[in-house]
Structure 1
Amino acid sequence: MTYGRASDDERMPGGLTVTDLVVTYPGKPPVEAVRGVSLRVGPGETVALLGPSGCGKSSLLGAVVGIVEPTSGTVAWNDQDLTWTPVHRRRFGLVFQDGQLFPHLDVARNIGFGPRMAGVSAEARAARVTELLEIVGLEGLGGRAVSELSGGQRQRVALARSLAARPRLLALDEPLSSLDADLRTRLAKDVRDILRSQGVSALLVTHDPAEAEAMAHRVLRMGDGRLL
C-alpha cells in the first residue's frame, strides 16, 4: 500500500479516469464540494480516498457512480466518457455505510436482486448466489432474514449483492464505519481479499487511516474538496 497523489498512477492503462471533476451544490452561496479532482484507478486496483467528514470524498464518489451530477469535468472507464451515462448503465457497484439491504427479502434474494433485474435465469442466479455466499463466508445462510444477521454479516451480504452483477468498479462509501473497532479491522482485511480475488477495481471512501491502509493498494488524501 502506498500514499500518493493522482499523478502517481498515470502509468497505469485502462480502468477509471476522473479528470478535473468539480461538484457544486446550489445555495447562497453555492458550495463547491469537489474542486478540480483528477485521479485514476487501475484494473483490479483498490484506491482509498482518506479524509475527514465534509472534505468532499463522498461527493466525489457519488459523481463517479452517477448519483451526483458534476458541475464540470469527466468520468471515464477505459477512455469511454461516462460523465452523463445513467447510473444503471455504468456497470459500477456501490456499497453504503449501512448496506441498505431489502428488509423484506432473505439473504439469497438480496444477493440475487441485481441479476434478476438484468434478466438472468433462475438457475444462473442460484449458482451465482451460492458462489458469492461462499466467497463472503456466509455459506448456508441464503434463507436467513436480514434482520437476523449481525452488522458484519449484513455488510458481507451488501458486498455480495454489489458483486453479483459482476461490476467493473466497486464504490465503497464508509462501508465499515458502523461496526465496532475489532470487527472493522477483521472485515477490512476480508473485504480486501475478496476484492482482489475477484479482480474488481474499487474506490473506497473512509475517514479511518487504518481501514484505508488495510484495504487499499494506494491512499489519496482529501481536504477541502481537493487531493492533497
Structure 2
Amino acid sequence: MSGLRVDDARVTYPGTPPVEAVRGVSFDVGPGEIVALLGPSGCGKSSLLSAVVGVTPLAGGTVAWDGEDLARVPVHRRGFGLVFQDGQLFPHLTVAANVAFGLEMAGVPRASREARVAELLAMVGLEELGGRAVTELSGGQRQRVALARSLAPRPRLLALDEPLSSLDADLRGRLAVDVRDLLRATGTTGLVVTHDPAEADVMADRVLRMEDGLLV
C-alpha cells in the first residue's frame, strides 16, 4: 500500500521494569488522508507519533512509507513535518523568517523561498504579518505560523501533536476546521494526536482510538 504503514509498533522507555508505552500497534494512512489518534493522556499516542516521525526509536515493529522501511532513515530525511502543541517557533525571527527557515536550510533560492512563504501566509490568513515578530502574535496566530512553517517544504506527511490544546475552546474549534481544510487543500497526508473527541471528528477522515498503548 502507498502512504504510511505502521506494523506491530512498540515503544518502550527505560525503567525497572521498562515502561511499555506502545504495545504492538498496526495501522495505515493513505495518501492525502487525515487520521487522528485519539485517547487520554498517557495512553501512548504521542509516543507512537514520535516513533512514526523518527524522534523516538522503535523497540519493535516497522514504520514504512510507500513500502520503504524507514528504520535506517533519519528524521530529517523522512520527508515528514511535525507541529507541536506550543509551535516551537524561533522568537528572534519574524513570521516570514520562521516560515522560510526550513526552505533556507534546504538551499532553496531566495526568490522561490519568498514566493512559497507568501503563498503559505496567504493560506493561513497572515499575509499582512510577515514582517512582524512572532512574540507579538496571539496563540492562534503562532500556531498558524507553525503550521505554515511545517508545510513550507511540502512534507509527504504532517504529524500534529496536540496542536490546538493550549488554545481556548472557541479558537480550538475554528482552527480545527482551518487546519483540516489546509491539509486537504495542499493534499498533505495528516496524522493528528488529540485527546478531544470533537476535535478528532472535525479534523480527521478517520479516528483511531488508543488506550493503554493499544488501539481499541
Same fold (TM over 0.5): yes
Asked whether 1:129 is paired with 2:88, we answer no
Partner of 2:102: 114
Which 5+ residue runs of structure 1 have no aligned equivalent? 1-12
- Equivalent-residue separation in structure 2 for 1:188 and 1:97 (angstroms): 13
Partner of 2:84: 96
Count of matched residue positions in the alignment of Structure 1 and Structure 2: 216
> Which structure 1 residue ranges, 4+ long, deviate > 4 Å from structure 2?
none
Partner of 2:148: 160
Asked whether 1:80 is paired with 2:56, we answer no
- Equivalent-residue separation in structure 1 for 2:72 and 2:188 (angstroms): 23
Listed one character per residue, the Cα deviations across residues 122-172 of structure 1 (whole Å, up to 9, x for unaligned) are 110000000000011111110010000000000000000000000000000
> Which of 157, 163, 167 does residue 175 from structure 1 map onto?
163
- Equivalent-residue separation in structure 2 for 1:160 and 1:24 (angstroms): 32
Listed one character per residue, the Cα deviations across residues 188-214 of structure 1 (whole Å, up to 9, x for unaligned) are 000000000000001000000010000
Relative to the length of structure 2, the TM-score reads 0.99
The CA RMSD over aligned residues, in Å, is 0.5
Q: Structure 1 counterpart of 2:184, which letter?
A: R
Q: Structure 2 counterpart of 1:31, which letter?
A: V
Asked whether 1:44 is paired with 2:67, we answer no
Relative to the length of structure 1, the TM-score reads 0.94
Q: Structure 2 counterpart of 1:157, which letter?
A: V
- Equivalent-residue separation in structure 2 for 1:67 and 1:155 (angstroms): 21
Asked whether 1:35 is paired with 2:23, we answer yes
State the Cα distance separating 1:85 from its structure 2 match.
1.1
Partner of 2:210: 222
Partner of 1:8: none
Partner of 1:5: none
SS across alignment from 1:112: helix
Asked whether 1:65 is paired with 2:53, we answer yes
- Equivalent-residue separation in structure 2 for 1:119 and 1:147 (angstroms): 26
Which 5+ residue runs of structure 2 have no aligned equivalent? none
Partner of 1:6: none
> Which of 178, 195, 208 does residue 196 from structure 2 map onto?
208
- Equivalent-residue separation in structure 2 for 1:175 and 1:84 (angstroms): 28
Listed one character per residue, the Cα deviations across residues 97-128 of structure 1 (whole Å, up to 9, x for unaligned) are 00000001000000000010000001100000
Asked whether 1:145 is paired with 2:133, we answer yes
Asked whether 1:197 is paired with 2:185, we answer yes
